[in-house]
Amino acid sequence: MRTYAAVDLGASSGRVMVGRVGPDSVELREAHRFPNRPVRVPEGLRWDVLALYGGVLDGLRAAGPVDSVGVDGWAVDYGLLDADGALLGNPVHYRDARTEGVAEKVWASVPAAELYAATGVQYAPFNTLYQLTAARSTAQFARAARVLLIPDLLTYWLTGELGTELTNASTTQLVDPRTRTWSREVAERLGIDLGLFAPLRRPGDPAGTLRPEVLAETGLAGPVPVTAVGSHDTASAVAAVPATGERFAYVCTGTWSLVGLELSAPVLTEESRAANFTNELGLDGTVRYLRNIMGLWLLQECVRAWGGPDLGPLLAEAAGVPALRSVVDAGDEAFLAPGRMPERIAEACRASGQPVPATRAEVTRCVLDSLALAHRRAVLDARWLADRPVDVVHLVGGGTRNTLLCQLTADACGLPVVAGPAEAAALGNVLVQARAHGLGGDLPALRRLLSRTRPLTRYTPRGDAGRWREAEARIAVR
């Protein structure tokens, strides 16, 4: 058995997990979890990346001796380094308003259809491409010598080595998913200097060793190798979907719901663009063909607005609220920014002529019904767009702890749901490290290992598919 530390930075919390892996066993424990709170300063919404790095060091100290460390985190965002390698300011949060209207300017140079044909990436206002375009005229950017995506920035601080990990690079909208390398043409036409990015590295590649100062701070004995993993948290989570066959869809449910299929080649059709599916890169030459849905962010923001009540009682009450009274479009960009979430949900219900949820339990039920409905639409759309059969939906991530959401997803999709693991990103991270350090096995074998060793819960659809179709029509006509 070998031991690996997975640093997993989610939008709502960061954690350092310790995985022990053998040919027929996988154990995972949490060494340290720390909040990830965006901070609003006069210039906008920022990540507190120093606090995150502090949490990572605390976590490595708590982890104890490990054979390797891997870092994954959320996509698209980055830090800028100056010519001395120092961080220039706090990384901008993808929910910041600086990219409003930027995509339209980019499309004036490279039309949206051409951009999709070249990169396969969905439209989202926060794609790195649009963020870089928004940043280009700033004084800070003028001093930038390097752009490092968030997990690569943390890896750099841990090791002193620069790199750009491929699965996360694929979310920048600057990578061609067919060649799995930078799309030089897109970058050139938009005046983006790809030289700002460090060389690409792939999951399993060595990414340096912990710096002596990091060893001293964490009490670890060196050398401790750092291994590149699927550094996009969703890539690591999809790698840890415990599927036993090929005909599965996945819902990575956390702050976001990322819903789709694993494919061997991208789908770059006009229908796919219109349906706003993305082709992000996964492990071992795979493509993560998926749609972004607002996810449990909607609930997190309601809970924040209500002063932080416990989730347990709230979800129990929501389970007793009549189903599908009101639904909103959980894919709607209108829910992206923070603030006033219960009011915004109420406004959306009113605008589509549905009853306005009045109590906290009713709002919660509306959010969960709406998420399940969005999961359904994404699974059905993906199945149709990629022309692939689906027999089972795997739910992974923190949302698998929400049994009501799991059951509603099974009901809405009309398919069996297998829920777990909750810490999928950390497990995907650990397994890729384990493989780089001698554990054999292709991706299906790693998945079978998880299906044998992790506790999973099965949900059977309660046959009320007609009600979900009716609810879908309510928001489709809006």
> What positions carry a catalytic annotation?
233
Q: Which of 274, 266, 224, 272 is nearest to 60 (CA)?
A: 224
β-strand partners of 229: none
β-strand partners of 181: 176
**Residue 446 beta carbon to ligand LRH: minimum distance, rounded to whole angstroms:** 20
Contact map string, positions 240 to 269, toward ligand LRH, x by CB under 6 A: ---------------xx-x-----------
Contact partner at residue 402 from ligand LRH, ligand ADP, none, CB < 5 to 8 Å by partner kind:
ligand ADP
Contact partner at residue 12 from ligand ADP, ligand LRH, none, CB < 5 to 8 Å by partner kind:
ligand ADP
Contact partner at residue 399 from ligand LRH, ligand ADP, none, CB < 5 to 8 Å by partner kind:
ligand ADP
Contact partner at residue 292 from ligand LRH, ligand ADP, none, CB < 5 to 8 Å by partner kind:
ligand LRH
Please answer whether residues 43 and 89 qualify as being in contact, where contact means their C-beta atoms are separated by less than 8 angstroms: no
User: In angstroms, rounded to a whole number, what is the distance separating the alpha carbons of residues 280 and 400?
Assistant: 23
Q: Which CB, 255 or 453, lies closer to ligand LRH?
A: 255
233 CB burial (10 A radius; 0-12, 13-18, 19+): buried
End-to-end CA distance of the chain: 55
Q: Is 75 in the site for ligand LRH (CB under 6 A)?
A: yes
Enter the DSSP assignment of 97: G
- Joined together, the tokens standing for residue 389 give 């059969």
233, 362, 369, 472: residue in contact with ligand LRH (rule CB under 6 A):
233
**Residue 448 beta carbon to ligand ADP: minimum distance, rounded to whole angstroms:** 23
User: In angstroms, rounded to a whole number, what is the distance separating the alpha carbons of residues 147 and 212?
Assistant: 24
6, 26, 76, 341: residue in contact with ligand LRH (rule CB under 6 A):
76
**Residue 263 beta carbon to ligand LRH: minimum distance, rounded to whole angstroms:** 16
Please answer whether residues 289 and 250 qualify as being in contact, where contact means their C-beta atoms are separated by less than 8 angstroms: no
4, 47, 53, 94: residue in contact with ligand LRH (rule CB under 6 A):
94
Compute CA 382 distance to the chain's CA centroid, rounded to the nearest angstrom: 18
Contact map string, positions 410 to 449, toward ligand LRH, x by CB under 6 A: ----------------------------------------
How big, in percent rounded to 5, are the helix, strand and coil portions of the chain?
Answer: 40, 20, 35
Contact partner at residue 13 from ligand ADP, ligand LRH, none, CB < 5 to 8 Å by partner kind:
ligand ADP
Q: Which CB, 218 or 255, lies closer to ligand LRH?
A: 255
**Residue 265 beta carbon to ligand LRH: minimum distance, rounded to whole angstroms:** 20
**Residue 397 beta carbon to ligand ADP: minimum distance, rounded to whole angstroms:** 4
**Residue 446 beta carbon to ligand ADP: minimum distance, rounded to whole angstroms:** 20
Please answer whether residues 354 and 327 qualify as being in contact, where contact means their C-beta atoms are separated by less than 8 angstroms: yes
State which of positions 261-320 bind ligand LRH (CB under 6 A).
292
Q: Which CB, 329 or 423, lies closer to ligand ADP?
A: 423
Can you give the binding site for ligand ADP, defined by CB under 6 A? 10-13, 254-255, 296, 299-300, 311, 315, 397-399, 401-402
74, 250, 289, 335: residue in contact with ligand LRH (rule CB under 6 A):
74
Q: Is 209 in the site for ligand LRH (CB under 6 A)?
A: no
Q: Which CB, 255 or 402, lies closer to ligand LRH?
A: 255
What DSSP letter does each residue of 317-375 carry, written as one string?
HHHTSPTTSS---TT-GGG-S-S-HHHHHHHHHHHTT-PPP-SHHHHHHHHHHHHHHHH
Q: Which CB, 255 or 272, lies closer to ligand ADP?
A: 255
Please answer whether residues 400 and 406 qualify as being in contact, where contact means their C-beta atoms are separated by less than 8 angstroms: yes
**Residue 206 beta carbon to ligand ADP: minimum distance, rounded to whole angstroms:** 26
Q: Which CB, 204 or 398, lies closer to ligand LRH?
A: 398
**Residue 266 beta carbon to ligand LRH: minimum distance, rounded to whole angstroms:** 16
Residues near 84 by Cβ (< 8 Å), separated by ≥ 6?
Answer: none
Longest dimension (CA), the chain: 63
Q: Is 364 in the site for ligand LRH (CB under 6 A)?
A: no
User: In angstroms, rounded to a whole number, what is the distance separating the alpha carbons of residues 437 and 204?
Assistant: 9
In the block, which residue shows the tokens 């061609």?
176
Contact partner at residue 258 from ligand LRH, ligand ADP, none, CB < 5 to 8 Å by partner kind:
ligand LRH
User: In angstroms, rounded to a whole number, what is the distance separating the alpha carbons of residues 44 and 42?
Assistant: 6
Would you call the peptide bond into 421 cis, given omega within 30 degrees of 0 as the criterion? Answer: yes
State which of positions 7-46 bind ligand LRH (CB under 6 A).
10-11
- Joined together, the tokens standing for residue 343 give 């009011």
249 SS3 class = strand
Site of interaction with ligand LRH (CB under 6 A): 10-11, 74-76, 94, 232-234, 255-256, 258, 292
